[in-house]
Structure 1
Amino acid sequence: MLQFIRQRGNSVKTGFDNDKYLALQSENIKNRIAQFGDKLYLEFGGKLFDDYHASRVLPGFAPDSKLQMLLQLKDHAEIVIVVNANHLQENKIRSDLRIGYDEEVFRLIDEFTNVGLYVGSVVITQYGRQKEAKRLESRLKRKNIPVYHHYSIEGYPTNTKKIISKEGFGHNDYIQTSRELVVVTAPGPGSGKMATCLSQLYHENLHGIKAGYAKYETFPIWNLPLDHPVNLAYEAATADLNDVNMIDPFHLTAYNEITVNYNRDIEIFPVLKHMFEEIYGESPYLSPTDMGVNMAGFCISDDLVCREASKQEILRRYFGTLTRLYNELCTESELQKQQLLLQKAQIVEEDRPCVKAAREKEARTHSFSGAIELKDGTLVTGKTSQFMGPCAAIIMNAIKYLANIDEKEDLIKKDAFKPIQNLKTNYLGSLNPRLHSNEMLIALSLSAQSNPLAKKALEQLPKLQGNQAHITSRISNVDMTILNNLGIQVTYEAQKG
């Protein structure tokens, strides 16, 4: 029924020492807490529970490493979640989980609470009484979660006189906190975490509380070269924000040492430095790099592995931007930036193995095709047939391979497809009779009741977690949902199909 090719490649390798990272990072954060007096605002960049970007570009990095560090301090810490009102209004989604930032706020609250961490409040930044922001606030208040408002400040971040005044930070709500370590996190980048921390330093000073600030941001890695693929992958991940990695000029001046930071931190540093000088008479930090506590760069155990993993991430982000542009969700400049990053990393589209395999399959079969790269380096392909599309085909073929089932074995009888196709076209109004991934898996589940081989194939589904795939046409929402649920990291060509 379906045919596929197998190509053996290199198995996944580890390039990052996570145990060393936990030890070094924990010690560094504790030292930073001890540096200040009454309270420390610790900005957590990236994702706390599931930093899959870090685990992809630093193979061996545990997605919950930041959480594990935080749990060691949970009796002294509280969480403040920051969300940008404009992101809510734009219905911005977290791409890996495919949920809106409003739902991500509630997910974070539940996740923090379930592991015993205290969520003190939610701050809505850039607040202007936006409809979606007011709706989120109402939902949070029904759960007895305190909500605070922070506003746009004209001239931010350069007009320090206006920012550090009653009309600037003074106009923001003062967030009531009760613990010595305040962890400020957010659903995604650009939420206003740093501005929230700076605003609180201003207010704490008015209340006679000596507060400090530090930043726990994994990327860019300050002690890797500017054009190291790990740092380029960070730029690719934040292309929609137009973040740019830069040499930290303040650190270079202060220490004659080259380090890497990114434009927003460098732009805001004079504000932070001025605020510390107003509060303490001098600044404890001479550069944006000084503000950070990240030790990831010291824990790379195999640089070549991390370089290659990062190049693959850059390619994934590039294909994602192609799709966004096709769907008119971004500008041409965002794609141009991604293309520039490909050039800097010296890679092309077909350096992603599953892209090359899928396109070769399409060229041979003259039909939309796909390929999935398994963790042992094997490439399994599939194509559109009269029974299913390429997404369903590569899932079927991959689990056949993993179960050591002959590729010609029909795990679903051909006559079992007909009732489903009839339901789709004659009763549900679909023009496409082919089975999507979910429909194929349901049919396979029914077959597994009497077919031991089908049952064995189904049992392989968990092994698809973290594998790479590419489809040579656009992907339906239902197929994308199944691929995400299975943990398959997929790219596709939205302009086709």
Structure 2
Amino acid sequence: MKKLGFDSQKYIEEQSKFILERVNNYDKLYLEFGGKLIGDKHAKRVLPGFDEDSKIKILQKLKDKAEVIICVYAGDIERNKIRGDYNITYDMDILKSIDEFNEYGLSVNSVLITRYSGQPSTKIFINKLEKRNIKVYTHEAIDGYPYNIDQIVSDEGFGKNPYIPTTKPIVVITAPGAGSGKLATSLSQIYHENRLGRVAGYSKFETFPVWNIPLKHPLNIAYEAATVDLKDVNMIDSFHFEAYGEVAVNYNRDIETFPVIKRIIERITNQESVFKSPTDMGVNRVGFGIIDDDVVKEASKEEIMRRCFDTECFYKRGMVDEDVVNRIQLIMEEMELKKEDRRPVLPAREYADKLKEMAEGEEAVNPMSVMAFELSTGEIVTGRTSDLMDASAAAILNSIKRLANISDDILLLSPVILETIQKMKVDELGNKMTALNANEVLIALSISAVTNPTAQLAYEQLANLDGVEAHSTVMLNKDDEQVLKKLGMNVTSDPAFSSENLFYI
């Protein structure tokens, strides 16, 4: 059992308390949410014990006082931007989020399309939402935002934006990802509230960086690694130190824009801002939930290594530039980490090299696809791609057999059944990928478990794959990657394509 480094219940209580304290100062509080509101896998990985849904549970406790506005930048819809954790586009993520908010009993006020200028795909998305009776608003880009304050705080700036009527004292502003316009939306709403004679405030629900731990703490460095493509850099909040004589950590974008945001709020309200620093603007009690700093440090170092692999794979696929790879490598150097420090890496590579030596002819041209799992017992289990199944599927079966103490000689699935599924996949469905993937093999296992007691024993071990560290010698296809993540595994890959094919990989 993995050691815990974080008390999630304490965090939920602390964060809820501080949000309510902020609300008491205003008629309405616009609360911008940084990071993922539901399923925060990064926080779960770096803070062992963190409930990945703790943010939504905090809001659920406040549901009688809160409603939600979801923002999305029209340009992100237009170019089909993908959320990497779920491998779905931003527009699909919004639909998913609305369903999840409804399940938690949270009221979704509307969806706001920011920087909208009639983009065709965005029009289709707006129609789709409105057909399902979801209110949609649009904001155009404001010239000179965020620096031309005279233009912004005027009838030609925020004044041109439609006001979104809200009824509850807490208005949560969330989005699928960074750059969606959450801050501008909050400020625009405060502008209109002020014109209507209401006292409205702004705060930011923060998780990372953690303001009250050291700047170079691995937990804060892991945040830099997670946002390496955004070029986020943690810094000492000079405004906070000057105001209070207290060292606090924030990140470059918030520190750089703080003076401008402060002046915008002061211009809107015609009074001095209560905020003396960007740290003041945040509601962040994560640091008070840490119960074992050493556990958090180790988990954060693991995350930095995972992010390094991810970044190199993104570069291989042409998704990021070389400077992003250079930045993550500098972070690795700074933390004195090597990719090989990740325990499943070398066993996977060594097995692949052994298979390569054994292979002959064209089969040896492409890298050998091998997966290695580090189980909760500390054992390393491997699987390789064969004619029948791919490496992910093989590693899953080998691992659950090991956890269930089933001999390697015993087959969980009849080859006849697997070959029949494979035949249907290729002959009837026309799939060129002949090896069965993890999803297909797991379905076969679940069916076999009904009549095969041994398969049932293995099937019951699937839950014990949660938290397993996994590494592949080639970049996984999206289907396998999503299955492994849904099982709760932390997956990395070497930046190598599994074949020379451009589509069927």
Specify the TM-score bucket, using the shorter chain as the normaliser: over 0.9
Q: What's the CA shift for 1:445?
A: 4.1
For residue 31 of structure 1, give the secondary structure of its aligned residue in structure 2: helix
Does 2:296 align with 1:306? yes
CA contact (8 A) 1:215 1:292 kept: yes
Give the counterpart letter for 1:487 in structure 2. Answer: G
Offset from partner CA, 1:116-135 (integer Å, 9 cap, x none)? 21111111112122222212
The match for 1:176 among 165, 174, 194 is 165
- 1:268-279 paired onto structure 2 within 5 Å: 268-278=257-267, 279=269
Offset from partner CA, 1:235-282 (integer Å, 9 cap, x none)? 222223222222212112222222111122123212221133231421
Match of 1:476 in 2: 477
Match of 2:17 in 1: 27
The match for 2:310 among 320, 323, 331 is 320
Offset from partner CA, 1:40-72 (integer Å, 9 cap, x none)? 111111222222211111111111212222222
The match for 1:167 among 156, 181, 199 is 156
The match for 1:219 among 208, 220, 226 is 208
Q: What's the CA shift for 1:491?
A: 1.4
- What is the alpha-carbon distance in structure 1 between the residues aligned to residue 95 and residue 491 of structure 2? 27
Identify if the C-alpha distance between structure 1 residues 401 and 179 changes in structure 2 by more than 3 Å, giving closer, same or farther. Answer: same
Identify if the C-alpha distance between structure 1 residues 295 and 442 changes in structure 2 by more than 3 Å, giving closer, same or farther. Answer: closer
CA contact (8 A) 2:309 2:495 kept: no
For residue 353 of structure 1, give the secondary structure of its aligned residue in structure 2: coil
Work out which structure has the larger RCO, using CA pairs closer than 8 Å and 6 or more positions apart in sequence.
1
Identify if the C-alpha distance between structure 1 residues 425 and 293 changes in structure 2 by more than 3 Å, giving closer, same or farther. Answer: closer
Offset from partner CA, 1:110-149 (integer Å, 9 cap, x none)? 1112222111111111212222221221112112222111
Q: Which piece of structure 1 moves more, 424-433 or 290-299?
A: 424-433
For residue 357 of structure 1, give the secondary structure of its aligned residue in structure 2: helix
- What is the alpha-carbon distance in structure 2 between the residues aligned to residue 227 and residue 152 of structure 1? 37
For residue 435 of structure 2, give the secondary structure of its aligned residue in structure 1: coil
- What is the alpha-carbon distance in structure 2 between the residues aligned to residue 485 and residue 62 of structure 1? 16
- What is the alpha-carbon distance in structure 2 between the residues aligned to residue 249 and residue 472 of structure 1? 44
- What is the alpha-carbon distance in structure 2 between the residues aligned to residue 79 and residue 163 of structure 1? 24
- What is the alpha-carbon distance in structure 2 between the residues aligned to residue 18 and residue 422 of structure 1? 48
Does 2:359 align with 1:381? no
Identify if the C-alpha distance between structure 1 residues 146 and 413 changes in structure 2 by more than 3 Å, giving closer, same or farther. Answer: closer
Does 2:290 align with 1:289? no
- 1:146-157 paired onto structure 2 within 5 Å: 146-157=135-146
Q: What's the CA shift for 1:86?
A: 1.4
- What is the alpha-carbon distance in structure 2 between the residues aligned to residue 232 and residue 164 of structure 1? 36
Match of 1:81 in 2: 70
Does 2:425 align with 1:435? no
- What is the alpha-carbon distance in structure 1 between the residues aligned to residue 432 and residue 196 of structure 2? 66
Q: What's the CA shift for 1:431?
A: 5.2
Q: What's the CA shift for 1:349?
A: 0.8
- What is the alpha-carbon distance in structure 1 between the residues aligned to residue 107 and residue 100 of structure 2? 11
- What is the alpha-carbon distance in structure 1 between the residues aligned to residue 336 and residue 424 of structure 2? 49
For residue 74 of structure 1, give the secondary structure of its aligned residue in structure 2: coil
CA contact (8 A) 1:399 1:461 kept: yes
For residue 64 of structure 2, give the secondary structure of its aligned residue in structure 1: helix
- 1:315-464 paired onto structure 2 within 5 Å: 315-366=305-356, 367-424=368-425, 428-429=429-430, 432-464=433-465
Give the counterpart letter for 1:467 in structure 2. Answer: V
Does 2:86 align with 1:97? yes
Match of 1:8 in 2: none
TM-score, L = length of structure 2: 0.91
Identify if the C-alpha distance between structure 1 residues 191 and 393 changes in structure 2 by more than 3 Å, giving closer, same or farther. Answer: same
CA contact (8 A) 2:439 2:479 kept: yes
Offset from partner CA, 1:401-442 (integer Å, 9 cap, x none)? 121111232223344444444445555555554322233334
Match of 2:240 in 1: 251
Match of 1:3 in 2: none
Match of 1:4 in 2: none
Offset from partner CA, 1:152-184 (integer Å, 9 cap, x none)? 233322222222222222232222112111111
Give the counterpart letter for 1:290 in structure 2. Answer: D
For residue 78 of structure 1, give the secondary structure of its aligned residue in structure 2: strand
Give the counterpart letter for 2:159 in structure 1. Answer: G
Q: Which piece of structure 1 moves more, 438-447 or 173-182?
A: 438-447
CA contact (8 A) 1:361 1:370 kept: no
Does 2:109 align with 1:120? yes
Identify if the C-alpha distance between structure 1 residues 116 and 448 changes in structure 2 by more than 3 Å, giving closer, same or farther. Answer: closer
- What is the alpha-carbon distance in structure 1 between the residues aligned to residue 479 and residue 2 of structure 2? 29
Give the counterpart letter for 2:332 in structure 1. Answer: L
Identify if the C-alpha distance between structure 1 residues 242 and 26 changes in structure 2 by more than 3 Å, giving closer, same or farther. Answer: same
- What is the alpha-carbon distance in structure 2 between the residues aligned to residue 198 and residue 375 of structure 1? 47
Q: What's the CA shift for 1:449?
A: 4.9
Does 2:267 align with 1:266? no
CA contact (8 A) 1:16 1:60 kept: yes
- 1:51-66 paired onto structure 2 within 5 Å: 51-66=40-55
Unaligned runs of 5+ in 2: 357-367, 499-505
Does 2:108 align with 1:107? no
Q: CA RMSD in A?
A: 2.0
CA contact (8 A) 1:157 1:267 kept: no
Q: What's the CA shift for 1:220?
A: 0.8
Q: What's the CA shift for 1:191?
A: 1.5
Percent identity for Structure 1 against Structure 2? 50
Give the counterpart letter for 1:157 in structure 2. Answer: P
Q: Which piece of structure 1 moves more, 272-281 or 298-307?
A: 272-281
Give the counterpart letter for 2:10 in structure 1. Answer: K
Q: Which piece of structure 1 moves more, 197-206 or 215-224?
A: 197-206
For residue 35 of structure 1, give the secondary structure of its aligned residue in structure 2: coil
> How many residues are treated as equivalent by the alignment?
486
- What is the alpha-carbon distance in structure 1 between the residues aligned to residue 117 and residue 25 of structure 2? 37
- What is the alpha-carbon distance in structure 2 between the residues aligned to residue 432 and residue 66 of structure 1? 40
Q: Which piece of structure 1 moves more, 327-336 or 158-167?
A: 158-167
Identify if the C-alpha distance between structure 1 residues 256 and 380 changes in structure 2 by more than 3 Å, giving closer, same or farther. Answer: same
Identify if the C-alpha distance between structure 1 residues 134 and 255 changes in structure 2 by more than 3 Å, giving closer, same or farther. Answer: same
Q: What's the CA shift for 1:82?
A: 1.0
CA contact (8 A) 1:201 1:212 kept: yes
Does 2:35 align with 1:46? yes
Offset from partner CA, 1:50-103 (integer Å, 9 cap, x none)? 222111111111112122222222112111111111111121222222221111
Give the counterpart letter for 2:402 in structure 1. Answer: Y
Does 2:177 align with 1:188? yes
- What is the alpha-carbon distance in structure 1 between the residues aligned to residue 109 and residue 265 of structure 2? 25
CA contact (8 A) 2:373 2:471 kept: yes
CA contact (8 A) 2:204 2:283 kept: yes
